[in-house]
Amino acid sequence: MHFHDSMISLVGNTPLVRLNHVTTSTQATVLAKVEYFNPGGSVKDRIALRMIEAAEQSGALRPGGTIVEPTSGNTGVGLAIVAQQKGYRCVFVCPDKVSLDKINVLRAYGAEVVVCPTAVDPEHPDSYYNVSDRLVRETPGAWKPNQYSNPHNPLSHYHSTGPELWQQTEGRITHFVAGVGTGGTISGTGRYLKEVSEGRVRVIGADPEGSVYSGGSGRPYLVEGVGEDFWPEAYDRTIADEVVAVSDKDSFQMTRRLAREEGLLVGGSCGMAVVAALKVAQGLGPDDVVVVLLPDSGRGYLSKIFNDEWMNDYGFLEEGGEQPRVGDVL
């Protein structure tokens, strides 16, 4: 019989898929690492599993304990799945810019969710960082994974995403492009790829315009899951050779193209990473292999990026991007 013991054993080993239609301006091969094939639908299942197992081993998380984490959704889903299978309770704290779709998913997996305002400083008592700290203090048996400083976040990528990419490309990968949120993906995957290739692989971060990684001050942007207004410990500043800033508009227009032209219904940070990857790929030759990591699925953004009205409200559909809608007089 062929079966898995539980959904946990399906984490990782995601496919690499060539981009064929958005890549007209390059001779290089551009491959997407499609992380929505993880059981929770995002790259964050990888870090959830490793952070929980490490906490069990260190004794920080004990049987019957509660996991408390500030998360924009994807890390929560990964933690919720691993936690329910292992018998832990989950309480998540989210900023209010996160789609209601994402919050409902967390609740569907049995987690509790507390929503906090986005428009306050990280030091403010109502910021999602501070609310989660308070919940940890007040809940007996609570453990906070803290994906922003937990070394097992980048380590999960060092031990899974990095080796997978090296094997899948048979060592031919020349460039790795990933969006930067906590920095775990780029730091862990990038460190592995640099070590195994003896420094040959170039690592490129993709960042929303205004975020600190590309030289901004943390000005608000709408793309979710990436960009920061502080420097997390999970981000190793020595790994990325370059960080490319991408606007919300370019990110979302590319996200819609990926669904229509490549059959990839993915999230906004994926469109952002692909814009950066295509910038990097421009001028590269036929022997170059650019891998871009796509963190999650587009299902959580149907009422935003894939909704013409929402896109129009922000002016994101200008310059020929707008499609006629049912009911429009043509």
Catalytic residue annotation: 44
User: What's the closest the beta carbon of residue 47 comes to ligand PMP, in angstroms?
Assistant: 7
Residue 98 or 290: the one with the smaller Cβ distance to ligand PMP is 98
User: What's the closest the beta carbon of residue 269 comes to ligand PMP, in angstroms?
Assistant: 3
User: What's the closest the beta carbon of residue 184 comes to ligand PMP, in angstroms?
Assistant: 4
Please give the structure tokens belonging to residue 255.
Answer: 């996200």
Q: Order across the sheet with 175-179: list the strands.
A: 16-18, 29-34, 289-294, 175-179, 202-208, 242-246
Do strands 202-208 and 242-246 pair parallel, antiparallel, or not at all (unpaired)?
parallel
Q: What are the residues binding ligand PMP (CB under 6 A)?
A: 72, 74, 179-185, 224-226, 267, 269, 295-296
Residue 95 or 295: the one with the smaller Cβ distance to ligand PMP is 295
Q: Count of CB atoms within 10 A of residue 220's CB? A: 13
Q: Closest CB to ligand PMP belongs to which residue?
A: 225
Please give the structure tokens belonging to residue 263.
Answer: 């059959």
Residue 155 or 226: the one with the smaller Cβ distance to ligand PMP is 226
* Distance separating alpha carbons of residues 296 and 74, to the nearest angstrom: 8
Please give the structure tokens belonging to residue 6.
Answer: 């539980």
User: What's the closest the beta carbon of residue 59 comes to ligand PMP, in angstroms?
Assistant: 26
Contacts of 271 (CB under 8 A, 6+ apart): 250, 251, 252, 253, 254, 255, 256, 257, 258, 305
User: What's the closest the beta carbon of residue 257 comes to ligand PMP, in angstroms?
Assistant: 18
91 neighbors 63 (Cβ within 8 angstroms): no
Residue 96 or 322: the one with the smaller Cβ distance to ligand PMP is 96
Residue 26 or 255: the one with the smaller Cβ distance to ligand PMP is 255
Q: Order across the sheet with 112-116: list the strands.
A: 112-116, 89-95, 66-70, 142-143
